[in-house]
Chains A and B, each alone.
Chain A
Amino acid sequence: MEEDNKPDIKPVIDEAQKEPDDKKTSLCVALKILKKYNLNSTAETLKKEANLTDSAYNTSEHDVNNALNIFKSQGDPSVYENAYITLSKFVETSLDIYKHELGCVLYPVFVHMYLDLVCNRYEAEALKFMKKFGPGQESYYQADIQNLAIITKKEELEDNALISNYKSNEFVVRMSRDTLSLLKRHLKEKKQTVLLDIVQENLFFDVYEGIARNKQQIDAVAGGMIGEGTRQDNKSRVYYGLLKEPDLQTAAATVNLDEDEEETQESEKPKKKKSKSNPLLSKKTKIDPNAPPLDRMPLPQLREIDKKIKVQAVLDSAKRVALNHETLPSICCYTLLNCSNAVNCATISDDATMLAVGMANSRVRVWSLVPQKLRAMKTADQLLDIDLESDDVMHRILDDRSAETTRTLLGHYGPVYQVSFSPDKTLLLSCSEDCTIRLWSLLLWSCVVAYKGSYHPVFDVKFSLHGYYFATSSRDRTARLWATDNYQSLRLFSGHFSDVDCCQFHPNSNYIATGSSDRTVRLWDCVTGEQVRLMTGHKGEILTLCFSNEGRVLASAGNDCNVLLWDIAHGHLVAMLTGHKGPIYTITFSRDSTILATGSHDCKIMLWDYSKLLEDLSLDDMNVHNPTVMNNSPKYLLRAFGTKNSPVIHLFFSRRNIMFCVCSFNSPQSN
């Protein structure tokens, strides 16, 4: 099972590979010690007696250290229990201001003590230790503890992903300098070598100046698999601003021309529109100081058709309903029937004309949501006859006889986990358990490319808002950046400690955010491929991410039923919204950034007052070290709408701020 496992990029501990027989190692260790204290003659005697050659003696430092460690603790397994009890007593009895920060040490110490016990083959004691102290750990670590408890034998340590995470990474604990010195003093006084070793080898203290944090502050950001993100992780600058919109005047003129032709009867109307839309389009947006330089990330050239789409979008947004806490959106709900347990994902195209659904039975289905049906392109022969210069060439190439309201795309051979429309809605991406990402043409209605990254299921795929690029996240613990015309991925973002469950493009396409089963949210720079933000605070797997329209705030949610809002500028958790009772599958911001909507497995859609939240946050004058986390959820909850026994899969705000909801109906019998 583990030998023929597919290549995994987990860091391997190589101590087990070339295990010299115990006797030899022990002797070598003894020699080392003798050497250390300059007892050369004794060493020589020993060498002779044991028949040791110099080469054997030169075993690696690593092996020796390992053996030393074993020797140290081999004496008595009860040492661990006592040490843990003293430590927890120390935490309990310390001053209230330090108590909670000191408490952060308990979990990593617990984990490593358990692993040491298992490693030293004290299996019964390990189980006892687990049973005694496991339930006392924080609730958000319980899932990991259960996975940890699966391991009961030394042999099992080697191929386990979770263990290698713990072994090869230092658990990050943030502490104020005062707290750390307190802890150090305690460790020195008690002189418990087990404890000292664990703290020295497996813990990393991210020290800051200032007062120790309180329970709420710690709980808000705790929960990561390998502890919190360090401040160093979030130091680099992130250009979270939006790119300058390209000039659309010329394109607008053509669009308006089209409209003129169409609406010849109402001669006055188009004129009005023209005058109305012009200021909108020509409105010179100020250059955002936080925006990345335009040429930082090479973006595709705008084609005529793209410009037209953009103009249409701007015109549409002019008719947008302004939402606030008193004018709530209308929600149009699409319920998928007769498919309980068969729908994995759904997405709606940006102009709200198409709905794509990924199924468990490896199909992708596309529905047209407007009277205009889905048409395919004409055959090559027929295409030859078309005048390429004509204005409506895009319409002419389509075959009216092939019009259908729904189409099925066949090609995957595993459950489809995500689908994503390209901005010009001629392409669709889908990713699947079969380890491939497929690009479908919505003109030909067939697969154009199958991208293959690794031999692991791909969980999420997202098109960039500018098209051309797309991001994927996979079980292989990486996220990747691709371009549609390249068979190989352009960037590989690795760093997560567990499956990467979701990804999302920043509106300026320079960054990709990923959420993972290691309960961290990370932000990656598409240009350099580096990790620029590491944010902890989720207590469960992260299933969905969404950037706010202005690009500064990232919302994430998942299995822990909480919605967390992050300030990308500094990588801080700024708000936590609770209220859902089931895993949250989808988050979206209204187009005017006033409302945040979340949809969950508990058949509820919740609307949150984002504008008020933003007002209360005042992002620009925030305490940089210990930002306060807004968690007064009832204050910001505007409304909750229930669906009829239908978990919400996808939420989407149209350009005019109508909310669309896709949910799949679970008939009560089959549930």
Chain B
Amino acid sequence: MGEIEVNYGSTLPTESLKVIAESVGIGNLSDDAAKEISDSATYRLKLVLQESKKFMMHSNRCKLLPSDIDNALKVFGIEPIYGFHAKDHIPFRYASGGGRELHFIDDKDIDLIEFVNAPLAKLPLEISIRCHWLAIDGVQPTVPENPPSVSKDVQKLECVDPLNKLKKPIDKEVSGRPSTGKAQKLRNVETVHVKQLATHELSVEQQLYYKEITEACVGSDESRRAEALQSLASDPGLHEMLPRMCTFIAEGVKVNVVQNNLALLIYLMRMVKALLDNPALYLEKYLHEIIPSVVTCVVSKQLCMRPEIDNHWALRDFASRLMAQICKMFNTPTNNVQTRITRVFTNATNSDKTALPSVYGALEGLAELGTETIKVFVIPRVRMISDRLDSPEVTQNNVDRISGNQIKHLLCKILTPVLKITHSPPDSLDEYKKEFGSVGVQLHAAVCKARTTTIIQSTSNQTVTQTNTQSRTVIGRPVAATTSNTVNPQKYVLMSQRPVVAQTPPNKTVYITQQNIKSEFQDPSN
């Protein structure tokens, strides 16, 4: 009611009218005249709007478009304002000039040459129809064309406020099985309101799906795995199977860490990635299973049979990125995921006893959490780690030496961009040595090199510098879905099997590609 009240008798401000009058060359519009004109203009404006609302209504829209106003003007016998297009969003901007606030639309100068040389705009896509089953015998199938059975918001609400679910009456508005089934009848019969238990049964189809997916994910057939992961990352109906999937991953990690089965651990991490990328799922309820598994893959002492040959570093890198993604998606003041994870990693780097692969994992994990984390938790410890790497026990052992080199390499990679900003040139080798120990030499060289390349590039081409700085920030940020942007080509090993799905919303790809599913639907009427 309140807002309605405000709307009664609103008029155009006389100030605006005076400004408009000025713009057409009438300098001294009296207040009375302005008031009269404002009243009359307001009345006409309202009439036009009232009429254009009708045209909006008949076009099945809830948003008024310029064409509606044109149609309304036409009806009133006024020439429409042809050629006027409004962008989707016209923000109100205010400029205070000469002591009054003015609303104006920012009309930028367009450089004609640039405009002419610009590539042609994309043609609008042809209108097409797509056919699918919205419901089969009253059950909505969970296909990508249908909305997810339990929307992400609802899932989110359920984990924040589990009681909410109980409050709601039996909801006929959610899809899935018809509510007229046996369960509801029973519920209707019982007079005592029994707390609704979550149903844990999976339908036969879902059991089959679970079996197929898990087998494909850890099996040997790479193409099937790609398909399975694609399904995990895009299927909207996985909500009910999620607890089982998470348990599968958690158990799988437990077993395979003990057995040092690197390949399987990688597969399981890719499953985590796929689930995280699924836009219809909200994993917070299952973090207690997922996080330990992922952290294990980051900091475990040994992940493979032959640590000197196998590339378990890539798994650690990948798992760290997953960890960063989880932190970014689910960190709240209540669960404090990021703080707790940071603590775990920091503890690992603090101790002298920690195995070197674990130190590597912890450092990588911290690095993925962002530049600030690197500044606060990594840089102060570099000297200690460096000293440890130089100690005789490490240098004499072959495996440890390889690990040491990996750590040094990693430190160079993650610290260079940070040091380049925190340390102002000129870089003195001695200072670096003093601050970082023996790693300081490599760091110094890397920072110097980075500085010179930046200068060269900046002198040669402006745009390259821009992209360069962009990629730098990417490294420092807790990278979520942008894994493919990072520099190390080795990392592609894990992800190269399939295109990164998360970057294009699946529903979009689904809707634009005109897959021919007609055969399935052949005229259901007959």
Instruction: Tell whether A pairs with B.
Output: yes
Which residues on A sit within 8 Å (CB–CB) of B134? Answer: 331-333, 605, 641, 643, 661
With A415-B71, A639-B178, A670-B88 given, is the CB distance from A333 to B133 under 8 Å? yes
C-alpha gap A67/B44 in the complex (Å): 29
A140 on interface, CB distance cutoff 8 Å: no
B32 on interface, CB distance cutoff 8 Å: no
C-alpha gap A603/B526 in the complex (Å): 27
Partner of B47, one of A150, A330, A370: A150
A338 on interface, CB distance cutoff 8 Å: yes
B252 on interface, CB distance cutoff 8 Å: no
Q: How large is the interface on A (under 10, 10 to 19, 20 to 34, 35 or more residues)?
A: 35 or more
Contact string, A547-574, partner B, CB cutoff 8 A, digits 1/0? 0000000000001000000000000000
B65 on interface, CB distance cutoff 8 Å: yes
B128 to chain A: closest residue by CB: A337
With A131-B8, A327-B138, A334-B130 given, is the CB distance from A644 to B522 under 8 Å? no
C-alpha gap A360/B54 in the complex (Å): 14
Q: Are A638 and B127 in contact (CB under 8 A)?
A: no
Q: Are A637 and B77 in contact (CB under 8 A)?
A: no
Q: Are B58 and A501 in contact (CB under 8 A)?
A: yes
Q: Are B180 and A153 in contact (CB under 8 A)?
A: no
Report B195 CB to chain A, min CB distance, Å: 22
Partner of B523, one of A135, A345, A369, A637: A369
Contact string, B148-172, partner A, CB cutoff 8 A, digits 1/0? 0000000000000000000001001
Report A436 CB to chain B, min CB distance, Å: 14
Which residues on A sit within 8 Å (CB–CB) of B61? Answer: 341
B350 on interface, CB distance cutoff 8 Å: no
C-alpha gap A637/B126 in the complex (Å): 37
Q: Are A338 and B8 in contact (CB under 8 A)?
A: no
Q: Are A414 and B136 in contact (CB under 8 A)?
A: no
Which residues on B sit within 8 Å (CB–CB) of A559? Answer: 57
Contact string, B122-149, partner A, CB cutoff 8 A, digits 1/0? 0011111111111111101000011100
Q: Are B59 and A667 in contact (CB under 8 A)?
A: no
With A135-B4, A351-B525, A543-B57 given, is the CB distance from A414 to B71 under 8 Å? yes
User: Which of A135, A329, A607, A644 is packed against the most chain B CB atoms within 10 Å?
Assistant: A644
A540 to chain B: closest residue by CB: B57
A4 on interface, CB distance cutoff 8 Å: yes
Which residues on B sit within 8 Å (CB–CB) of A131? Answer: 5, 8-9
Which residues on A sit within 8 Å (CB–CB) of B5? Answer: 131, 134-135
B373 on interface, CB distance cutoff 8 Å: no
With A342-B127, A642-B175, A643-B147 given, is the CB distance from A4 to B65 under 8 Å? no
With A331-B135, A333-B131, A582-B62 given, is the CB distance from A338 to B125 under 8 Å? yes
C-alpha gap A664/B129 in the complex (Å): 9
Report B387 CB to chain A, min CB distance, Å: 54
Q: Are B132 and A335 in contact (CB under 8 A)?
A: yes
C-alpha gap A370/B46 in the complex (Å): 48
Q: Are B55 and A601 in contact (CB under 8 A)?
A: no
With A152-B9, A475-B75 given, is the CB distance from A344 to B43 under 8 Å? no
With A1-B78, A150-B43 given, is the CB distance from A333 to B523 under 8 Å? no
Q: Are B145 and A341 in contact (CB under 8 A)?
A: no
Partner of B127, one of A146, A365, A634, A661: A365
C-alpha gap A297/B4 in the complex (Å): 49
Q: Are A583 and B57 in contact (CB under 8 A)?
A: yes
Which residues on B sit within 8 Å (CB–CB) of A142? Answer: 4
Q: Are B172 and A328 in contact (CB under 8 A)?
A: no
Q: Are B78 and A151 in contact (CB under 8 A)?
A: no
Q: Are A642 and B147 in contact (CB under 8 A)?
A: yes
Q: Are B172 and A638 in contact (CB under 8 A)?
A: yes
With A156-B43, A334-B131 given, is the CB distance from A457 to B507 under 8 Å? no
Q: Are B76 and A5 in contact (CB under 8 A)?
A: yes
C-alpha gap A433/B127 in the complex (Å): 22
Partner of B8, one of A149, A326, A343, A543: A149
Q: Are A146 and B524 in contact (CB under 8 A)?
A: no
B7 on interface, CB distance cutoff 8 Å: yes
Which residues on A sit within 8 Å (CB–CB) of B179? Answer: 639
C-alpha gap A131/B173 in the complex (Å): 40
A127 on interface, CB distance cutoff 8 Å: yes
Report B54 CB to chain A, min CB distance, Å: 6
Which residues on A sit within 8 Å (CB–CB) of B524? Answer: 330, 332, 654, 658
C-alpha gap A146/B50 in the complex (Å): 10
Q: Which of B1-18 contact A (CB under 8 A)?
A: 1-2, 4-5, 7-9
Report B61 CB to chain A, min CB distance, Å: 6
Which residues on B sit within 8 Å (CB–CB) of A433? Answer: 55, 71, 74
C-alpha gap A146/B525 in the complex (Å): 47
B521 on interface, CB distance cutoff 8 Å: yes
C-alpha gap A156/B512 in the complex (Å): 51
Which residues on B sit within 8 Å (CB–CB) of A499? Answer: 54
Q: Are B135 and A459 in contact (CB under 8 A)?
A: no
Which residues on A sit within 8 Å (CB–CB) of B63? Answer: 341
With A5-B76, A131-B9, A338-B126 given, is the CB distance from A656 to B133 under 8 Å? no
Which residues on A sit within 8 Å (CB–CB) of B4? Answer: 134-135, 142, 145-146
B390 on interface, CB distance cutoff 8 Å: no
A630 on interface, CB distance cutoff 8 Å: no
C-alpha gap A658/B523 in the complex (Å): 10
Q: Which of A638-671 contact B (CB under 8 A)?
A: 638-645, 647, 649, 654-656, 658-661, 664-665, 667, 670
User: Which of A330, A336, A605 is packed against the most chain B CB atoms within 10 Å?
Assistant: A330
Report A354 CB to chain B, min CB distance, Å: 12
Q: Are A647 and B60 in contact (CB under 8 A)?
A: yes
B67 on interface, CB distance cutoff 8 Å: yes
C-alpha gap A499/B39 in the complex (Å): 27
C-alpha gap A335/B508 in the complex (Å): 13
Q: Which of A340-356 contact B (CB under 8 A)?
A: 341-345, 351-353, 355
Which residues on B sit within 8 Å (CB–CB) of A641? Answer: 134-135, 140, 175
Report B91 CB to chain A, min CB distance, Å: 17
C-alpha gap A659/B466 in the complex (Å): 55
B511 on interface, CB distance cutoff 8 Å: yes
Report B60 CB to chain A, min CB distance, Å: 6
Contact string, A569-608, partner B, CB cutoff 8 A, digits 1/0? 0000000000000110100000000000000010111010
Q: Are A146 and B7 in contact (CB under 8 A)?
A: yes
Which residues on B sit within 8 Å (CB–CB) of A352? Answer: 523, 525
A517 on interface, CB distance cutoff 8 Å: yes
Which residues on A sit within 8 Å (CB–CB) of B178? Answer: 326, 328, 639
Partner of B133, one of A150, A330, A338: A330
Q: Are A149 and B43 in contact (CB under 8 A)?
A: no
Report A43 CB to chain B, min CB distance, Å: 42
C-alpha gap A524/B87 in the complex (Å): 44
Report A212 CB to chain B, min CB distance, Å: 27
A225 on interface, CB distance cutoff 8 Å: no
Contact string, B351-376, partner A, CB cutoff 8 A, digits 1/0? 00000000000000000000000000
Which residues on A sit within 8 Å (CB–CB) of B67? Answer: 360, 415
A–B complex contacts, Cβ < 8 Å, 28 sampled: A1-B76, A1-B77, A5-B76, A146-B8, A160-B47, A330-B135, A330-B136, A330-B137, A333-B145, A335-B130, A335-B131, A336-B127, A337-B125, A337-B128, A338-B128, A339-B127, A345-B60, A369-B523, A414-B71, A415-B67, A475-B75, A601-B60, A640-B173, A641-B135, A642-B173, A644-B145, A649-B60, A667-B511
A-B contacts besides A333-B134, A414-B71, 14 pairs, CB < 8 Å = A130-B9, A134-B8, A146-B7, A327-B138, A330-B133, A337-B129, A337-B512, A344-B60, A433-B74, A601-B62, A603-B147, A607-B138, A639-B138, A643-B134
Residue ranges of A at the interface with B (Cβ–Cβ < 8 Å):
1, 4-6, 127, 130-131, 134-135, 142, 145-147, 149-153, 156, 160, 316, 325-339, 341-345, 351-353, 355, 360, 365, 367, 369-371, 414-415, 417, 433, 456-457, 459, 475, 499, 501, 517, 541, 543, 559, 582-583, 585, 601, 603-605, 607, 634, 637-645, 647, 649, 654-656, 658-661, 664-665, 667, 670
User: What are the 9 tightest A-B residue pairs by CB atom distance, in nearest-first order?
Assistant: A328-B138, A333-B134, A338-B125, A331-B134, A352-B525, A654-B525, A331-B135, A150-B46, A640-B173
